[in-house]
Structure 1
């Protein structure tokens, strides 16, 4: 991932509402969720939701498809994995135990269908 794409993705996620939308779509899985259901679940007003979905889409973090009268949104797990990999690229500074928990998360995200990102139990 290029730095510019990472900045765009991070900027898209740097808003409480957009982050909530993205996390909901990650949990939902590859089947995705209709815009109306996203609005009901998050409590985000439709016009704000539309803007947030547009920003996340332009950042390459979500996809959309039409099913009948609904637009279904889903997380792009590959883009999420690329962003995580970019953030961890120079991790550890010679001490791999620092990044071990992050490596576990990245490995799970690589094959994720939305059900695999339950919080890890970590010890400080």
Structure 2
């Protein structure tokens, strides 16, 4: 993953509300959560939630899926894995042995 993409994802996760949304979705599993359920759990106004979800989608951290009238937010675990790998891939690389 490129530095710019990781920096953008971390920037979006740096906001407390977006981090709370992402954490709730990561906990939910691969099926994600309906937007309405996420709104109830986090007690976030719909317009505010929509704004934050949009930022997380644009950073590649979430995708949205529609099933009939229900819109789901689905965490992208592969992107999360790539970010974590980027951060630790050179851990202790310059440490003397």
Q: Deviations over 1:74-97 (max 9, x none)?
A: 1100000000001112112448xx
Give the corresponding residue for 1:106.
Answer: none
Q: Which runs of 5 or more residues in structure 1 are unaligned?
A: 96-124
Superposition TM-score, scaled by structure 2 size: 0.93
Aligned length: 95
Structure 2 residue 16 is matched with structure 1 residue 16: yes
Structure 2 residue 85 is matched with structure 1 residue 90: no
CA RMSD, 1 decimal = 1.1
Where does 1:73-112 land on structure 2 (aligned, <5 Å)?
A: 73-93=73-93, 94=95
Q: Deviations over 1:33-71 (max 9, x none)?
A: 010110100111111100110000000001111011111
Give the corresponding residue for 1:6.
Answer: 6
Separation (CA, whole Å) in 1 of partners of 2:32 and 2:53: 13
Separation (CA, whole Å) in 2 of partners of 1:52 and 1:91: 31
